[in-house]
Every structure is written in C-alpha cells, then in structure tokens.
Amino acid sequence: MSNLAIRVEDVGKQYNIFKETRYTTLREKIVETVKSPIKTLINPTGSEKFWALRNVSFSLDHGQVLGVIGKNGAGKSTLLKILSRVVEPTEGWAEIHGRVGSLLEVGTGFHPELTGRENIFLNGAILGMKRTEIEKKFDEIVAFSEIEKFIDTPVKRYSSGMYMRLAFAVSAHLEPEILVVDEVLAVGDAEFQRKCLGKMSDVASEGRTVIFVSHNMSAIQRLTQECIILDQGRMVLRARTPEAVDYYLTNDFSASGERRYAPSDVPSSAYPFKPLAVRVRNRAGVITDSMLSVEPITIEVEYELDSDITGLRVGIYLMTSRGEYIFTSFDTDDPEKFQSLSVRKAGHYVSRCTIPADTFNEGRFVIGINASSYMVKRYFSDERAINFSVNATGAPGMHWVEVRHGPLRPRLDWRIEEAP
C-alpha cells in the first residue's frame, strides 16, 4: 500500500482581475468599439489575467510535516485552497489520499446562520465522521476553543477571534488524516496562540500529515521537517527546514531600511487600515539598514485609516535573522495613551518609537509590523517588513576579542565593592 498523502503536479491557478471603470454612455461605448474592435471582442470586460500559482510540483508522504513560506502574495493561501478543494486549479492536478481538515482564512468552512454547536457537527459530517464519533470529541473542542457561553449562538455573531478559535479547535480535534493550516497565529491572544502551536505539535507527533503556512519562522522551525518557498506564485526551493529558513531570510525576501507598500501588497481584509511604509532611521534621521550598536534606532510605521477604528494598536515585532522573537511593542502599551486614543479617527498617521543606544549585539535583525484591535481583529501583519544590521564597534566589552552570545548587548551599570 502506497504511503503517499499528497502529490501536486504542475499546478497553476489563474484569476481575472477586473478593472473598475467609470460609467460610459452608449455613444462612448460605440466609439470605443469602432476605434478598437479587436480589443473589444477579445477582452470586452477589460480584465487582466493574473497567475497566483504556476508550475508547482511536490509530493508528501503520510506523517510528514511540511512548511510553506513566502512573502505576502506569493501564492501560499492559493495552494492551500487547492489542496482543500476550495478552488480548482487552472492547470495541473493535485492527488490527495485521506480526509482533509482545513483551517484557512476566517469565514471558510462554517455556515454563518448555524450555531457553533451545529457547525461542529456539520464539519464532522463533511469529514465523513459518524455522529457518535463527533459527540466523543465535542466537549474537548468546546473547552479548547474557550467559547462555551456562545456555543449555541449563530457564528455570524462571533468576533473574528472567536470564529478562528472554534475553527482551529474543530480542524485539530476531528482527527483528519491531513491537516492544512494557513497562518494559525493570525488571530487570538498570545496564550491561545501557544495552545494552537502545542496542539499542532501533538497532531504532528501522532503521525498525521500537516501542511503549515506561517510568517513565524520560530513556529515553522519548531513544527516542520521540510519547507517549500514560494515567490510570485512559483516554487523556488524545497529543503530541510533550517536550510529553507536561512535561504528565505538571507535572499532579500525582506526589504532593507525602508519598505513601502503598494495597494497590491495589502489584502482587502485590512480595511480600513492601509499601511504605507515602515522605516528604520539612525541617530541623524537617515533611513539606513546599517546601524551602530552605540546609537539609538528609530522605527516608523506610516499608515492611513479610511475610517475610525476602536481600540487600534500599531506595533512592531523585533526578531533575529532566524525568526526568534526578541520583543513586541505597541504604540498604545501606555494605558493613558490607550485611553486617549480609544477611537483612532480616520486620517494619515506615523507611529514612531526609539530603541535606546547600547541595546543590540552585532548581527542582523528583522522588524515585523502588526495593526490590530485586541481580541477583535488583526487588520494587517507583516512579520518580515524590513531588516537591518548592527555593527558593535564601541559596544561594551569590545576590548576583549571574543564572541558575545545573544542578540542583545546592553551597557549595564556595574558596581564593584569590597565585601565586608
């Protein structure tokens, strides 16, 4: 009996992008047709073709855990939708052996008019499980999701966080043979994210097949054995996870010094938050990706709000080049500032923070950004927006020629006194 779980051969997915056009009169339409009759016949809607995925091939055996990494828009979610049979490929084919449980973006897999309880049984039935099998798992699912009080409420009334909690609990506990997860860390508080990663680790250790998409390199390294890297819809590498992560982080997949966001970089789900740019400035205010350890570093996040947002917090993740988190900070961590900005009005903003001098060890660091309303919605996240390097010249202890371990190299106030 074959051990094959998934085989993907030359899969591609093409979409039509329709341009918004102003209202045209009948006279204008006739004139346009007369001037460009061939163009009008070939493409009457004015749409453009876009390949979200092209010529992707790989296979996966039962029990393997595969990571999928790449920048926003690389085709990761499209690949998972094809494997979950949510969309059909335009070309190529995917062969899947086993029941597939999918956790894609919020809104996939649940019927909004049904309650949480009814959706649990619906999803189990779709997986081919008997009612008695689902009932054995029901209490465990509800307890894991932490929404006991709302289990008999229609899911259309759930917040995005509640929705994703239940969706993950259902996907992970109904024991599919193949689990497909797209950015499990996109919604929810830190504690629930840790629960999700722990559960995924348990699922993987049970010998089930897992395909995991994430921008969190620490999670990728913890959970996966191999990774594929997608870039502009094409697979550029398949390798063991450490090698793939190093390749991804060192081959300029992250912008340096400044990252500007084009409209195509921002998903529609980010509305009304619109990121414009992220920058790193040195002491002189110059945008650069090369810093001295002995100077302060200023980080700016520029953005627009198309409408008011309640409880918005805009912040940064600071990571090592291997994706290990150093710290997270938000612009409303100060309770007084959070109260004064409880409703952030529509407009153009820059959120700016300064990391003090004598903080970093030498090395390369990555900054991600996050815009969210706590426990309500994550509007936008880019966990590798920019990167910068630090030169430790003049840092504490440089008179000794030795390697200082760790990403930080603070200048501490030591006192040396004779003991009594």
Query: What pLDDT does 126 receive?
Result: 77
Cα–Cα distance for residue pair 290/10, rounded to 1 Å: 41
Looking at the domain assignment, is residue 414 inside a domain? no
For residues 272 and 239, state if they share a domain: no
Q: Which of 383, 347, 343 is nearest to 365 (CA)?
A: 383
User: Rounded to 5 degrees, what are φ and ψ at 41?
Assistant: -70, -40
Among 250, 267, 285, the domain boundary falls at: 250
Flag whether 400 is in a domain: no
CB count in 10 Å sphere of residue 306: 12
Does residue 116 belong to any structural domain of this protein? yes
- Do 192 and 48 belong to one domain? yes
| DSSP letter, residue 184 | G
pTM: 0.60
What pairs with residue 15 in β-bridges?
A: 50
Domain CATH number, residue 345: 2.70.50.60
DSSP class of residue 185 equals G
Tally the domains of the chain. Answer: 2
| Domain-located, residue 401 | no
In this prediction, residue 417 carries a pLDDT of: 92
127 domain-assigned: yes
Judgement on whether residues 174 and 114 belong to the same structural domain of the protein: yes
Q: How far apart are CA 143 and CA 136, in angstroms?
A: 13
How many angstroms separate the CA atoms of 323 and 245, rounded? 9
Please state whether beta strands 312-320 and 226-231 pair in parallel, antiparallel, or not at all (unpaired).
unpaired
Let me know whether 242 and 266 are in one domain.
no
At residue 119, the 3 state secondary structure works out as helix
- Establish if 417 belongs to a structural domain: no
354: how many CB neighbours lie within 10 A of its CB? 11
Together in a domain, 43 and 143: yes
Q: What is the CATH number of the domain that holds 147?
A: 3.40.50.300
- Chosen domain end from 215, 250, 285: 250
User: Could you identify the residue written with the tokens 């999918």?
Assistant: 102
Half-sphere exposure of 222 (CA within 13 A, CB side): 16
Take residue 204 and report the two structure tokens written for it.
């993987």
pLDDT tens for the chain, residues 1 to 420: 478 889 999 999 998 876 555 556 667 667 666 666 655 555 555 567 889 999 999 999 988 999 999 887 888 989 998 998 888 999 999 999 988 877 775 555 678 889 999 989 988 887 777 888 888 889 988 998 888 899 999 988 888 778 878 888 887 787 778 888 887 655 556 677 777 778 877 877 788 898 998 877 777 887 888 999 998 899 999 999 888 887 887 665 545 689 999 998 899 889 999 999 999 999 999 998 888 899 999 999 999 999 999 999 999 999 887 778 899 999 999 999 999 999 999 999 999 999 999 999 888 888 999 999 988 899 999 988 888 888 888 888 877 767 788 889 999 999 999 998
- Let me know whether 107 and 221 are in one domain: yes
CA-based max dimension of the chain: 100
Same domain assignment for residues 240 and 260: no
Domain for residue 318, yes or no? yes
Q: Return the pLDDT at 196.
A: 78
236 is a domain residue:
yes
Range(s) of the domain holding residue 366: 256-391
Would you mind telling me the total number of residues written for the chain in this entry? 420
List, in sequence order, the alpha helices (H) in 146-226.
160-173, 190-205, 217-223
27 and 131 together in one domain:
yes
The answer to whether 175 and 3 have CB atoms below 8 angstroms apart is no
262 and 379 inside one domain: yes
Output the pLDDT for position 246: 78
Q: Which two structure tokens, joined as six digits, stand for 53?
A: 């995925």
User: What local confidence, expressed as pLDDT, does residue 159 receive?
Assistant: 81
